[in-house]
Amino acid sequence: MVGPIEKYLLKHIQEDGAIHLTLIDPEKVTAASSSLLAKKADDSKTTAIMVGGSTSTSPNHLDRVIKAIKRTVKIPVILFPNNVTGISKHADAIWFMSLLNSVDPYFLIGAQVLGAPMIKKYNLETLSLGYIIVGEGGTAGIVGRAVPIPYTKPELAAVHALAAQYLGMHFVYLEAGSGATQPVPSNMIKAVKYAINTPLIVGGGICSSEQARTVVVAGADMVVTGNIIEETDNRDQFKKLVKTVREIGTA
**Where do contacts with ligand 1GP occur on this chain (CB under 6 A)?**
23, 140, 175, 178-180, 203-206, 224-228
In the complex, least distance from residue 220 CB atom to ligand 1GP, rounded to whole angstroms: 11
* Minimum distance, C-beta of residue 147 to ligand 1GP, in the bound complex (Å): 18
Q: Which residue has its beta carbon closest to ligand 1GP? A: 203
Q: Pick the closest to residue 214 from 238, 236, 244 (CA basis).
A: 244
SS3 sequence of 211-249: HHHHHHHHCCCEEEECHHHHCHHHHHHHHHHHHHHHHHH
Nearer to ligand 1GP, 131 or 170 (CB): 131
Q: How far is the CB of 229 from ligand 1GP (least distance, A)?
A: 9
Closer to ligand 1GP by Cβ: residue 29 or 180:
180
Give min distance, CB of 47 to ligand 1GP, in A.
Answer: 15
Of 203 and 249, nearer to ligand 1GP (C-beta) is 203
Q: Pick between residue 227 and residue 234 the one whose CB is nearest to ligand 1GP.
A: 227
Which CB sits closer to ligand 1GP, 71 or 244? Answer: 244
Q: Give the DSSP per-residue string, the chain.
A: ---HHHHHHHHHHHHHSSEEEEEE-GGG--HHHHHHHHHHHHHTT-SEEEE--TT---HHHHHHHHHHHHHH--S-EEE--SSGGG--TTSSEEEEEEETTBS-HIIIIIHHHHHHHHHHHHTPEEEEEEEEEBTT-HHHHHHTTB-PBPTT-HHHHHHHHHHHHHTT-SEEEEE--TT-SSPPPHHHHHHHHHH--S-EEEESS--SHHHHHHHHHHT-SEEEE-HHHH-GGGHHHHHHHHHHHHHHHH-
**Shortest Å, Cβ 156 to ligand 1GP:** 19
Closer to ligand 1GP by CB, 191 or 212: give it. Answer: 212
Q: How far is the CB of 81 from ligand 1GP (least distance, A)?
A: 12
